[in-house]
Structure formats: C-alpha cells, structure tokens
C-alpha cells in the first residue's frame, strides 16, 4: 500500500468514528434514539452491508471456477452466515413492515422481537459478539501483518491469498475493536445515563464494513483477477507492407 492509501485506510475510519460521537453528543434525546433505533441508519446500514457481503461471498462460491472447491465451500457457508446476520439485524423485517412477534418470541425474547440472538437473555448475541471480538483483530490485523513478512504466504492460490486481506482493513478493525471504550469509561464513572452514545450498535456497523470490504477484496482476487489471467493474449495486428520492409 502507498502512503496515501495508508492514510485513507486509517484516517477514514477514525474520522467517521469521531464524527459519529460528535453527532450523538450534539443531538437531542429523540435524535439519539432514532440513530440507535431498529430503523435508524446504524442498524439498517449494518444489515445492508452484511447482506452485500453475503451476496459477494455467494458470487465467489458460484463464479470462482479456478478456486479450489474447499475455499468455494467456505465462501458458500460464509454467504449463509452473513445473510443470517443481516436478517437478524432487522428482525426479519419486523420493524420495517410492522408485524407483531409470535407469542413465543414475546415471552422469551429479551426485546420481544422476532429474532434468535435476543432469545434467552441474549445468549446467542453474546456468543456472536464474543466471536466477532476475537476474529476481528486476528483476521484483519494480526494474521495479515505476520504473513506479509513472508512474501510466499500471499502468493496466488495460497490460503492467505484466498481468504485474508492484506493491510487494507486494519483501520476499520482497530476502530471496531476499541469502539465501545468511551462508553465503558462513561459507565464506569457513573454518567452512562446522561448520554447514551449507542456505540454497541456502531461496533456492529464497523464489523459489517470489515466484512463487506473483505468480500470485495476477495471477489476481485478470485473472480476478476482469475478472469484476467485466463483471458487469451490479444493477437498482434498484421504488419503492413511498410512495416515489413522496415523489419527486413
């Protein structure tokens, strides 16, 4: 990556994060509730980006004919997982279309919504967040930085080349990893009730940005790069009589 790409890759996530905090601090209670609501930009943006990531993962699984079958199967599984996460984020369209939860969900769901991650005191939600908190620094920061020290680990066809980004998404991963720290500090000093920043939902948005960014990078490698490699070389135009005389 060039210096400019480094600055954009690190600066854009940090700038957007700081901008969000400023907006939430300046907004009134009604504005903050809307931003952090099920129909607000944070929640809908998260669902949209996870859905987009799922579509790109499915496209890789379907179109990357030169990619080994084991990796294509992983992308197919990833597409299903990301589609599930996107649907869970919007409670399968409950708030968008305004239908009521079934009796079982109203009784056992923490938020009385039609989703699985809020069932039984958010048990699945806690597990999903724990997995994301562990995988984000590992996949987007630690492994790329370690493997990039050895050039052969990112050769076309290798596991790293097939599954991992390079340094493109480190900034997003860093912001996602430390996103909720200000809220934890506020809660610790006893002022959490004054200004709810909604950083938990913002953290999920950065996870979705990382997922969509990763699938875009890998789509370019598996589909577009493979198509360019497989394309036959362009035929040279026949030489004119003048060119033949010059060559002679």
Sign, Cα dihedral of 50, 221, 177, 196: negative
Confidence grade of residue 136 (pLDDT, cut at 50, 70, 90): very high
β-bridge mates for residue 119, sequence order: 109
Give per-residue pLDDT as tens, 51-81.
Answer: 999 999 999 999 999 999 999 999 999 999 9
Distance CA 195, CA 24 (A): 8
For residues 100-123, average pLDDT: 83
Nearest Cα to 207, choosing from 163, 176, 165, 169? 176
pLDDT tops 50 at residue 90: yes
CA distance 153 to 157: 10
For residues 133 and 207, give the distance between their C-alpha atoms in angstroms, rounded to a whole number: 9
pLDDT at site 15: 94
The yes-or-no verdict on residue 111 having pLDDT over 90 is no
The length of the chain in residues reads: 248
Q: How confident is the model at residue 228 (pLDDT cuts 50, 70, 90)?
A: low
Average pLDDT over residues 104-120: 83
């Amino acid at each position: 990556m060039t210096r400019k790409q480094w600055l954009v890759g690190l600066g854009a996530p940090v700038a957007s994060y700081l901008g969000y905090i400023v907006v939430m601090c300046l907004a009134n209670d009604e504005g903050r509730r809307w931003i952090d609501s099920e129909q607000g930009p944070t929640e809908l943006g998260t669902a949209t980006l996870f859905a987009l990531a799922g579509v790109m993962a499915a496209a890789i699984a379907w179109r990357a004919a030169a990619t080994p079958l084991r990796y294509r199967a992983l992308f197919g599984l990833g597409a299903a997982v990301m589609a599930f996460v996107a649907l869970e984020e919007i409670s399968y369209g409950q708030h968008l279309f305004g239908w009521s939860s079934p009796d079982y969900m109203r009784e056992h769901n923490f938020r009385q919504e039609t989703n699985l991650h809020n069932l039984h005191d958010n048990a699945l939600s806690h597990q999903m967040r724990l997995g994301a908190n562990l995988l984000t620094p590992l996949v987007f920061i630690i492994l790329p930085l370690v493997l990039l020290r050895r050039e052969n680990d990112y050769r076309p066809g290798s596991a790293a080349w097939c599954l991992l980004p390079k340094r493109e998404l480190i900034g997003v991963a860093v912001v996602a990893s430390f996103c909720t720290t200000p809220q934890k500090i506020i809660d610790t000093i006893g002022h959490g009730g004054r200004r709810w920043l909604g950083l938990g939902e913002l953290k999920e948005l950065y996870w979705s940005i990382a997922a969509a960014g990763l699938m875009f990078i890998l789509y370019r490698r598996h589909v577009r790069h493979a198509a360019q490699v497989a394309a036959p070389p362009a035929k040279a135009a026949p030489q004119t009589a003048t060119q033949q005389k010059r060559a002679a």
